[in-house]
Amino acid sequence: MPVTPNEIQPVTIRYARETDVAGAKDLADRHRVELGFVRTSVLHEAQQKKWLLVAVRDEQIIGFANFRIRQDKNATLYDIVIDEPYRKQKIGKRLVQRLTWLVNIAGGEHIRLKCPQSLPANAFYKKLQFTRTDTEIGKKRPLNVWHYFLKPLPRRFEFHENNGGFLHSPPEHSPHFFASATIAPGEIRKIYELWHTHAHDFEWPRGTPNPFQRLLISPVLASPSTLAFVRELKRSGETEEVMFDSGGFFVQKGDITYNELYSKLREIYHIEDWADIYILPDNPPLSKDSMSDAEDKIRQTVDGIVSFAYQLPVEIRKNVMPVIHAKQAAHLEYCLQNYEPLMADSHRIGFGSFPTMGATNSINRVNADVLRLLDDLVPRLNGSRLHSFGISTPPAVFCLAKVGVETFDSNGWMRSGGYGKIFFPFTFGRMVDCKARGYVRVHSDELEPIKLDTGHRCPFCESFNDISDGSGRWHRIMHNLTVMTELEVYHRKPQWEILKEHSGNYYRMLKAASVPVFGEK
């Protein structure tokens, strides 16, 4: 019997939807002793501003957290409650962990709340390592003031300006990660099961990430079972955003022709209408292509995308993502002129012209030329969000963030883990498989220092044995997935020492690209 999300983890923590407000209000009314009177209008406002998290089981609201992210990026938690039959199942802890993650993403440092002294909830906050910082005289009863202070990144993650003033600011954007889910049904179920088996009891230093929050899947190449699994994640709310991949990567590898892809995608996009973003079909140029061949592929991509888009229903057309391929600035201009009407509706655009390598052209790389192209592209987008395709290593993603990329996708976390490699923030992949030859390796006595240096902790790299050799394959995959999911937190405090020490080629690449620093005058 296939494993479904609800069979593995029946309680989902997600942002509240408009239809959830009534359930949250009903729950609040049944717990007035603890919460006082909670107005419906307050819950509606919180839902609209994404300040309301709910715990859902079988589409029933069994808990919620009502909070506010203030202008100083810190949070005030106003109400949190779990329905009586579901208490002592760590659901309240999961709500707080999710809030902690959101505050970290916002750049805040603490969560603050007030709780009547007489309530048992004070013991709950103490157990979650909140600190009681004050006592206030409330309108009806004394109140304890509690703070949860987010764990800072290591001391090496501090503001550093080098003598040349080169690229010392954080990226303007911390790019959001879309995990590639175009994998076998058994693999995605295994990943889901491992996450929910290990993640919820782990003491995350900066809140619990959600690797399923944003998923990329090719409806042309994915199996029906995998597609149904992702759709169920979307329905349950654990996945907030689904991006349908055109499958251009598989054209790039030679697994399918562009014309076959175009025909199949046109049929599927009219049937599968539940995604949030629809990438339009493209034919990526390869590094080995001559300029003439590359320009033929660029023209084919542009003509095909414009024609394809206007064959789609209007509602889907509003959510399309045209794809730019370019070898030089003139190609950027050609794509933008043709895509302007589409971008006016969708406000999204993807970039896929990375140097390719490998026997099947399956590996995309970042170099200084690409960074210069992207730096030239971003100011012309008029506010449209820029997505990059298929970049797999943390330092490469950081380079893309510096030039304004806002979202990215990757399947390298799984492929690299299978090959014996592990990632850390600001570092390229390192081999842990003792059979590896000719690669930079991590030895057992080096793991803890690297974790301390980069500030990374997760339940999948607690010991070297967990990730070493063949038996550690799935722990390596899960570790890499966690690292990629957490990058948006780490990018807020770039660490040039780690980048230079562990990924010096990327450090030199940024310098060679002479990319202007966002936010500097």
Q: Is residue 482 part of a domain?
A: yes
Phi first, then psi, for residue 131 (nearest 5°) are -110, 125
Farthest-apart Cα atoms in the chain, separation: 78
Rounded Cα distance between 96 and 74, Å, is 14
Q: Is residue 157 part of a domain?
A: no
**Residue 16, both tokens:** 């509240």
pLDDT attached to residue 155:
46
Rounded Cα distance between 348 and 387, Å, is 8
Give residue 465's domain range. Answer: 418-488
Q: Is 440 found in the same domain as 370?
A: no
pLDDT attached to residue 492:
62
Q: Is residue 126 part of a domain?
A: yes
Q: Is 393 found in the same domain as 426?
A: no
Q: How many CB atoms lie within 10 A of CB 384?
A: 21
CATH for 65: 3.40.630.30
Q: Is 268 found in the same domain as 123?
A: no
Ordered DSSP codes for 121-189? HHHHHHHTT-EEEEEEE-SSSEEEEEEEEPPPPPTTSS----TT--S-SPPSS-PEEEEE--S-HHHHH
Q: Is residue 202 part of a domain?
A: no
Domain count of the fold of the chain: 3
Ordered DSSP codes for 273-341? ---SEEEPP-----TTS-HHHHHHHHHHHHHHHHHHHTTS-HHHHTTEE-EE--SSHHHHHHHHHHHHH
Q: Is 396 found in the same domain as 461?
A: no
- CA proximity to 215, closest of 275, 175, 268, 271: 275
pLDDT attached to residue 198:
93
Q: Is 423 found in the same domain as 362?
A: no
Q: Is 506 found in the same domain as 375?
A: yes
Q: Is residue 166 part of a domain?
A: no
What residue has token string 């107005």? 39
Radius of gyration of the chain (CA): 24
pLDDT attached to residue 93:
92
Q: Is 184 found in the same domain as 123?
A: no
Classify strands 277-279 and 214-217 as parallel, antiparallel or unpaired.
Answer: unpaired
The CA-based dihedral angle spanning residues 360, 421, 497, 97, taken in that order and rounded to the nearest 10 degrees: 110
Q: Is 9 found in the same domain as 42?
A: yes
Helix H or strand E segment including 451? helix 447-454
Its pTM stands at 0.86
Q: Is residue 520 part of a domain?
A: no
With contact defined as beta carbons under 8 Å apart, do 498 and 426 qualify? yes
Q: Is 465 found in the same domain as 500?
A: no
Classify strands 323-324 and 363-364 as parallel, antiparallel or unpaired.
Answer: unpaired
Q: Is 333 found in the same domain as 236?
A: yes
Task: Tell me if residue 382 falls in helix, strand or coil.
Answer: coil
Q: Is 389 found in the same domain as 438?
A: no
Q: Is residue 208 part of a domain?
A: no
Contacts (Cβ under 8 Å, ≥6 apart) of 161: 168
Q: Is 495 found in the same domain as 484?
A: no
CATH for 397: 3.20.20.105
pLDDT in tens, the chain (521 residues): 344 555 555 788 999 999 999 999 999 999 998 899 999 999 999 999 999 999 998 889 999 999 999 999 999 999 999 999 999 888 999 999 999 988 988 888 999 999 999 999 999 999 999 999 999 987 778 999 999 998 765 544 443 333 333 333 444 557 899 999 999 999 999 999 999 999 988 988 888 999 999 999 999 999 999 999 999 999 999 999 999 999 888 888 888 899 999 999 999 999 999 999 999 999 988 888 899 999 999 999 999 999 999 999 999 999 999 999 999 989 999 999 999 988 888 889 999 888 766 655 556 788 888 888 888 898 888 888 999 998 888 988 888 888 889 999 988 899 999 888 999 988 888 888 555 555 667 788 888 888 888 888 999 999 898 898 667 999 999 999 999 998 887 766 656 677 777 788 888 887 787 654 333 33
Burial of 246 (0-12, 13-18, 19+ CB in 10 A): buried
Q: Which amino acid is at 289?
A: D
Q: Is residue 160 part of a domain?
A: no
